[in-house]
Amino acid sequence: MTVPGLADRLEGVEESAATAMAEKARTLRAQGIKVIGLSMGEPDFPTPPHVVAAATAAAEGGDTKYPPVAGTPALRAAVQRKFRRDNGLDYALNEILVTNGGKQAIFDALMATCNPGDEVIIPTPAWISYTDMAKFAGAVPVFVPCPQNNGFRLQAEALDAAVTPRTKWLLLNFPSNPSGATCSWTDMKAITDVMLRHPHVWIMTDDMYEHLLYDGTFCTVAQVEPALKDRTLTVNGASKGYAMTGWRVGFCGGPRQLIAAMENVQGQSTNGISTVGQAAAVAALDGPQDLLTERAASYRVRRDLVVALLNEAPGISCHKPEGAFYVFPNVAGCLGKVSTGGRRIDTDTDLVAALLEEHHVAIVQGAAYGMSPFVRVSYATDEASLREGCSRIQAFCRSLTTAC
């Protein structure tokens, strides 16, 4: 429904389903109900102590003034070192932008480049916000389905068929939210070969889950095909790997002209990000990196546990992902049934609503990510909660009865 006085650009831009589900879970908890929250993509690990110490030292040392829009010199230099160390990418300091989380980097890029009617290719299932940010920038999302029978991976032929003269961006996310799919060097080379044939298209890689990889080796577009570096924006951040979601530190590397345009957008919206957060991010990027491997090992154990338990639930088939901290199980076997509370389960949206109301487990419907009938379950929480949550899901599925 159109609300008088609001901008047309908000048409079709919706609240994040994951955020909405988390809010519903909070409401139930406030009523004294024990809710198992498996909807949010937030690590349960603490921010590393040396990172917190660096932030404290910065605040106590008076590093509390307005920051440069593009990021402090210290953090941009740390990001420069990170790209060289982890990805074999060389960016000049003026080709690096620090943003308020990785989300702002994506938003800045779309707002700086998209005109009404431009198209943004989004392989699905995909993070909820890609679609709405594209719409907000006046662009048209173009979805390329990546089916489960191909491991939720993007196929080069499908990508090539989706490109038109109006295509402005290809947006890639590996490991993927919500499917956990990854992209091998060979598969990435097939994608970059397609992009070499379409020189008018920008490429954005959301590499936020880079360090949450359990099978294979991580790679990114500009690393695999250096000829595409001058039209690729490489986006990353501290949120997932370093458990710094609340610090809101993202960053990206790209061609100077694009970075300058994004800096202009950022300067007229949020300006630079917290100086204390930037000091913390320097410590994270330059400090010990072994914690990344240690935490990934813990997530691997959780992944295996959740996949096994969900595959014991009647009506659910759970694919084992290669990265991130989500599973994206197929719930087709639960549809057309009725819950003990009398709710008819015709869609994945019906399922997650009934599961929360009747068994108090919060997950997110696959429809929000552009693919049904699936659900997203986050295993970025402790093992006890995962066991309890999966036990409740099993009980919910066993309780479903055939609709009359």
- pLDDT, tens digit, 9 for 90 and up, residues 274-328: 999 999 999 999 999 999 999 999 999 999 999 999 999 999 999 999 999 999 9
The pLDDT mean for the chain works out to 95
* Gap between the Cα atoms of 145 and 185, Å rounded: 21
Q: What is the pTM of this model?
A: 0.94
| Pair type for strands 36-37 and 361-362 | parallel
Strand, coil or helix: 401:
strand
Sign of the dihedral through C-alpha 292, 293, 294, 298: positive
Does 3.40.640.10 match the CATH number of domain 49-288? yes
Reply yes or no: is the peptide bond before residue 373 cis, omega within 30 of 0: yes
Residue boundaries of the structural domains of the chain: 8-46+291-397, 49-288
* Gap between the Cα atoms of 94 and 73, Å rounded: 10
- pLDDT, tens digit, 9 for 90 and up, residues 325-368: 999 999 999 999 999 999 999 999 999 999 999 999 999 999 99
Does 3.40.50.1860 match the CATH number of domain 8-46+291-397? no
Q: How many CA atoms lie within 13 A of 349 on its CB side?
A: 7
What are the CA-CA distances from residue 49 to residues 243, 299, 306 (Å)?
11, 20, 29
